[in-house]
Amino acid sequence: MATSARQGPYFCGIDAAMDVVTGKWKSLILWELQEHGTRRFAELRRGLPGVSEKMLVQHLREMEEDGLVDRKVYPVVPPKVEYSLTEHGVSLNAALESLAGWGQARIERIGADKISVEAA
Amino acid sequence: MATSARQGPYFCGIDAAMDVVTGKWKSLILWELQEHGTRRFAELRRGLPGVSEKMLVQHLREMEEDGLVDRKVYPVVPPKVEYSLTEHGVSLNAALESLAGWGQARIERIGADKISVEAA
DNA sequence: TGCGGTACTCACCCGAAGGTGAGCACCCCC
DNA sequence: GGGGGTGCTCACCTTCGGGTGAGTACCGCA
């Protein structure tokens, strides 16, 4: 199953962090939630151009299981679900910041294209 | 091809860093080279229990292309090749350190098993 | 003389990650 | 009253990462 089955034996901390962060969209979800504080499902979908609903649900479930995001369901008539970062999610994001800096430098070094997310 | 074809458009720095670091053994290779400075192919293989030769070669080639490792071939009669980190490799490792710290904390939090590498 | 080591390459296979498209239960708005 | 939005689930399919095992050219050592 996709749910759980993680938490395998690790070689080192990197392994453990990677385990939680790998997945095409997870770091982006983390970022999106960090930026906006709280987002509804459809807002996240719109914020991550190209993500499929299935993957978004799946990643969110895994991240919830890993204690990174908080899922709050409002039992209202048009469904409403809000996602936000837990303290672990916030600290993971902080830990990713130096990596983001390195990646940014790499982008400039190799002159890769960048998809602007902040616009639109 | 596995070689190049990376450097696709990125959403953010994390993407770019992840692109370079994903691969089952890459972070371990980074770590191993950081610890030992310079390693021969067979030394790396022995240092990473479970890695297949194919994956080791493949990852090393990609990391060489990405400018993370330096490959020095000695044209001697029993082949001799030495791998070491470039400055970019070293700085990537530094950027990974906070992530490693987070992962370490997570390991302790969830009480996961850990494969000891420093022993043996 | 033949086995093991050195640093690989090549061909093949498997399973998981991720994408596609449909359906659902209920509502509001035009 | 039907089209669109809300948050999903399910089934199917493709792609790709990674593993397996063989082969290679040459050597040193027992």
- Are A68 and A20 in contact by the 8 Å Cβ rule? The answer is yes
| Nearest in space to B106 (alpha carbons), one of A69, A1, A58, A67 | A67
pLDDT at residue number B115: 59
Helices vs strands, H then E, count in chain B: 5, 3
Statement: residue A3 has pLDDT above 70: no
Reported residue count of chain A is: 120
pLDDT at residue number A115: 60
What residues of chain A lie within 8 A of the CB of B65, using their CB? none
Statement: residue A120 has pLDDT above 90: no
Q: Could you tell me which chain A residue has the CA closest to the CA of B21?
A: A18
- b or e along B45-80 (b: 16 or more beta carbons within 10 Å of the residue's beta carbon)? bebbeebeeebbeebbebbbebbbbbeeeeeeeeee
Judged by CB atoms closer than 8 Å, whether chains meet at B22 and A21 is answered as no
CA-derived radius of gyration, chain A: 15
DSSP A16-69: HHHHHH-STTHHHHHHHHHHHSEEEHHHHHHHSTT--HHHHHHHHHHHHHTTSE
For residue A81, the cross-strand partners are A73
pLDDT digits (tens, 9 = 90+) for B6-29: 666 888 899 999 999 999 999 999
| Nearest in space to A38 (alpha carbons), one of A74, A93, A83 | A83
Quick one: tokens of A97?
A: 């910041």
Which residues 79-98 in chain A have a CB closer than 7 A to strand D?
Answer: 79-81
- Are A83 and A76 in contact by the 8 Å Cβ rule? The answer is no
| Confidence (pTM) | 0.86
| Nearest in space to B31 (alpha carbons), one of A20, A19, A8, A13 | A13
Judged by CB atoms closer than 8 Å, whether chains meet at A103 and B31 is answered as no
Range of lowest pLDDT (A68-77, B1-10, B15-24): B1-10
Q: Name the protein residue, with chain letter, whose CA is nearest the C1' of C18.
A: A55
How far, in Å, CA of B97 to CA of A99, rounded?
Answer: 9
What residues of chain A lie within 8 A of the CB of B113, using their CB? 8-10
| Nearest in space to A16 (alpha carbons), one of B103, B24, B116 | B103
Q: Name the protein residue, with chain letter, whose CA is nearest the C1' of D16.
A: B2
Statement: residue A70 has pLDDT above 60: yes
Between the CA of A36 and the C1' of D1, what is the distance in angstroms?
38
Which bases on strand C have an atom closer than 7 Å to a protein beta carbon? 5-11, 17-22, 25-28
pLDDT digits (tens, 9 = 90+) for B56-71: 999 999 999 999 999 9
Judged by CB atoms closer than 8 Å, whether chains meet at A102 and B110 is answered as no
pLDDT at residue number B36: 96
A1 beta carbon < 7 A from strand D?
no
Quick one: tokens of B32?
A: 């191993």
A101 secondary structure, DSSP code: H
| Nearest in space to B107 (alpha carbons), one of A23, A69, A90, A8 | A8
What residues of chain A lie within 8 A of the CB of B102, using their CB? 13, 17, 91-92, 95
